[in-house]
Structure 1
Amino acid sequence: MKKILMLATGGTIATLKTGEGKIPQLTSQELLRTVPEIREICQVETRQLFQLDSTNVHPDHWKQIARAVSEAYEAYDGFVVTHGTDTMAYTAAALSYMLPGSRKPIVLTGAQNSISERETDGRRNLLDAFLYASSACAWGVTIVFDGQVMLGTRAKKLRTKSYHAFSSIGYPELARIRDRKVYPVLPLPAGLGRPQPALELDPAVFVLKLIPGVRPDVLALLRPAYHALIVEGFGVGGVPYYATADFAREVGAWVEAGKVVIMTTQVIYEGSDMSVYQVGHQIKQAYGVIEAYDMTLEAVVTKTMHLLPRCPDLAAFREQFLTPVSHDILLPAGEEGPL
């Protein structure tokens, strides 16, 4: 019987109703007691890392989770992290970069309703997380939710209330769970082992979502405060290229200042391709911005935070950003950077 460490961080799954709304209050042990079948699957030990609504989780909490997993790595066969759904995809992506290539599973799960309620998805999700963490096919950082096992770099929350809250974007699910059985979809990849923890992050990253008529001077206001800018463009990666080209020049000023500029798309599915239209092609060719292609926004943000402290210049950052980690990016043929 495998030995799994459960790390609890709060979230909806652990909430109780109060006069001011739902607040995470249930401890890791209380969560575990609601699903006694877990004890039939594996040996479980628990730790309460913190007790937060996930809207309050930030990079320092990612470090806390990653450190807890790293310090306990040799003593357990896998890990289950209970977490709020609102920022779970960010945490899963961040852990994928902070603890890369793990042979042992690091499984995040949560719920849309508190596990204390009669109508809840919490008990099923928690049981499924332990089923997957205890299975022979489990590896890496994943989110287990509504019977799906998704890579941490590919999962995204798409629904605010439905139990089918998460989807894997641009990449197949690793496995599916039905009737308390795990059905692998993809084989174990080669080269897995004990991850070398990389806990340093630079949170000075800003995401700018473009709207028609956006004023380019906002870029000048942001530049002193941030080390990287992620621009969510239109469609396949279009950016405004008005007659004055002010927006493009402001992007160029970021690059000239030695700061990272990454272009992605507001569209969830199928990714960017800045070569398609002149408005994207010009700004990429003229200023050398980095294109995120089919990466999720959560992966783009957390990979950028992960790489900023490790890359001495923009060339090194570009190379590392375009190097796939846990299938986070699919590059078109001929794109710079190792495949």
Structure 2
Amino acid sequence: MNSKKRILILATGGTIASAPTNDGLAPRYGISQILGANSLLHNYYDLTMRDILQLDSSNIQIPEWQLIARAIYEERNNFAGIVVTHGTDTMAYTSSALAYMLRNINLPVVLTGSQFPVDVPLSDAHDNLQTALAMAASGVPGVFLAFNRQVILGTRAAKVRTLDFQAFESINCPPLAKINSAGLCFNQQVLQSVQKLRQANEPCTLRLELLPAAFLLKLTPAFNPELLDCLPGLGYKAVLLEAFGIGGINFLHANMLERIEKLLRSHIAVVVTSQCLYEQSSLKVYEVGRKLLDLGAIEAFDMVTEAAVTKLYYILGQAAKLNLTGSERLNFVRSCFRRNLAGEINLPPI
């Protein structure tokens, strides 16, 4: 009797699949070359491997997210877990998007990749695959990112290093699990929060509707707020503003508040987060933040930027599906941003 867990690996390209070309590294290897027939991992898992894309992750955007999500959804009842190999540059965006699109997923979906191509002697590819496969076989449903012997919630990951093997960190939430000499060891508090998100009696639903009508703006001193006047004409329905510190913006000299008020009157959602990677934003602390709240700005609290951007794409897509426009769409965005959909947010204590 075969007791090995059935795991599906979906390959999409990335550094893990790359080889040198005249123009630099580019994806060239399929998953059967990354994880050859002689790999010891076949002794522990019943592996099915498929190449569904062969792209640098900089080229993976909404159509590719939809393709990946559909492939996962179609196979969700045929395997114990699914691993997706992916380039590191946009992996955190993809993991967040998949977490929103695959609502109430019934098995572990684990993204991984590497900082070095698989055929480099010191590559981290095999180590990351081992971690991803262990998580895929764990039976814990959800979307996760596995890297450097850690497993991170898909909506809590951010790429923070370009060269180091610790490329990703779990932001404002401890890693779900770590690999050590005791095996795959879970943080029980994070595990319980993941389990609470899943509705046990509800089926998984695939929600492919994403609308990329959200503009990300990192505020800088002396920024010209007139730029915001261009956004409605370009079709944007929301702005994610990376404000200073805990949530400050300038209202002397070039007054941002006037332009933000104008956007909100046009029913364009303005979501405010912090430029700081760790801890939360709060618009209640300083005068500059309270002025934003008074205008009707929406707080992102402790969300990582990648999760906030993709959440806006997701919410705007659902609003379009419901034919919501104007104030109805704005209120829908406001309501959804206060809800924890996939582990992306903890409502703040301050």
Q: What TM-score range do you get, normalising by the shorter chain?
A: over 0.9
Structure 2 counterparts to residues 55-204 of structure 1, below 5 A: 55-136=58-139, 138-179=140-181, 181-186=183-188, 187-188=191-192, 189-190=195-196, 191-193=198-200, 194-204=203-213
CA distance in 2, matches of 1:6, 1:192: 26
What displacement does 1:6 show? 0.6
For 1:178 and 1:35, locate their aligned partners in 2 and report how far apart those are by CA, in whole Å: 25
- Taking only the aligned residue pairs, the percentage that are identical comes to 38
The separation in 2 between residues aligned to 1:7 and 1:171, in whole angstroms, is: 27
Secondary structure of 2:106 counterpart: coil
* Bigger shift: residues 179-188 or 226-235: 179-188
1:274 matches 2:290: no
Q: Are residue 3 (structure 1) and residue 3 (structure 2) matched?
A: no
Contact 1:154 1:295 in 2 (8 A): yes
Deviation at 1:179, TM superposition (A): 4.6
Count of residue pairs brought into register by the alignment: 331
Structure 1 range deviating more: 193-202 or 152-161: 193-202
Match of 2:332 in 1: 316
Q: Which amino acid aligns with 1:280?
A: G
> 1:103–1:192: 8 Å Cα contact kept in structure 2?
no
Check if 1:300 corresponds to 2:308.
yes
1:228-239 aligned at under 5 Å gives the runs 228-239=238-249
Asked if 1 retains the 8 angstrom alpha-carbon contact of 2:152 and 2:177, the reply is yes
Match of 1:206 among 208, 212, 215: 215
1:242 is the counterpart of 2:252: yes
TM-score (structure 1 length as normaliser): 0.94
Q: The residue matched to 1:206 in structure 2 has which SS? A: strand
Root-mean-square deviation (Å): 1.6
Native 8 Å contact 1:128 1:180 kept in 2: no
* Greater Cα offset, 276-285 or 59-68: 276-285
Shift in Å, 1:202: 0.1
Residues 224 and 254 in structure 2, CA contact (< 8 A), matched pair in contact too: no
The aligned amino acid for 1:228 is: A
- Which whole-Å CA distance do the structure 2 matches of 1:44 and 1:198 have between them? 27
Tell me, which stretches of 5 or more residues in structure 2 are unaligned?
Answer: none
Report the equivalent of 1:337.
none
2:60 maps to a residue whose letter is V
1:33 correspondence with 2:42? no
Larger mean CA deviation between 178-187 and 70-79 belongs to: 178-187
Question: What does the per-residue CA deviation read over 1:290-334, in whole Å, with 9 as the maximum and x for residues that have no partner?
Answer: 010100000100000000122322112211111002221111259
Distance 1:180 1:224 in 2: 56
Match of 2:341 in 1: 325
* Deviation for aligned residue 1:243: 5.2
Q: Whole-Å Cα distance in 1 between the matches of residues 254 and 84 of structure 2?
A: 50
1:150-186 residue CA offsets vs partner (Å, 9 max, x unmatched): 0000011110000011110001111111258211112
What SS class does the counterpart of residue 175 from structure 2 fall into?
A: coil
CA distance in structure 1 between the partners assigned to 2:297 and 2:216 by the alignment:
14
- Equivalent position to 1:217, from 226, 232, 236: 226
Contact 1:103–1:139 under 8 Å retained in 2: yes
